Structure 1
């Protein structure tokens, strides 16, 4: 848990500090207004509960939407091939930098998951893949397409499966 928190703090950018600072300022403002209106309990409760909702949802949704906008990318699978003599699947794919900044690094993950005729089960299987592998790609410039290869091994599943590729870039 400690390493996850320190990694998160180390990867913050200037826009994150601006976002968290403004959300904290709004929290303090609404909380103080709620304390000033303590003689009117309904208004005070509305302001204080709004302050906590802004602190909770503003920081999480703001962080995720801002990073989705700032570090926009698209991934596409070029081809995939199941190897016959080894228990592996080779996935060839591309990642494209759609943002206005250069990416320092991208963590690209490929996941293999089961496929059935039931749509609900297919949706649930996406949350628990059969196999997941990740690689890091560095220095992807604005508008650049980068081709890469990921090998999912050992891959022993013999029934029908799908492969998805996603990238998280900074």
Structure 2
């Protein structure tokens, strides 16, 4: 067993794993019980497993847990709570951007990283930022509206 020390959602954790090359996704879901990140394709192509590593969106299904080191990992659970959702989570609720919910973790996490860099995005900017996150339900237009709504709210404008 190999001990892996991580900082997840602001808290230090240590997990003993059999395989240090185990994907970060498995550690988060199976060992820490965090179910925001989802297993989708297992190849880093769909985005369902997206988490933030030091604020940058990464695909947890292809990131070895042992490679994280001192980086701060944030999952969907670390953005807000049901009582106090993040601006982006509030916007997804207000725009009813969730249908089946499978892709939403990736959409929200990718959008969180994006909005930390781009404060006043255009619709085209949002579409480009989310182009590599797949959604089968077809709520793309509501997702884009939610990201734009959150950007306005984060800038202090009315939603």
Q: Under a length normalisation based on structure 1, what TM-score does the superposition of the two structures give?
A: 0.23
Higher strand share: 1
Q: Under a length normalisation based on structure 2, what TM-score does the superposition of the two structures give?
A: 0.24
Larger of the two Rg values belongs to structure: 1
Higher helix share: 1
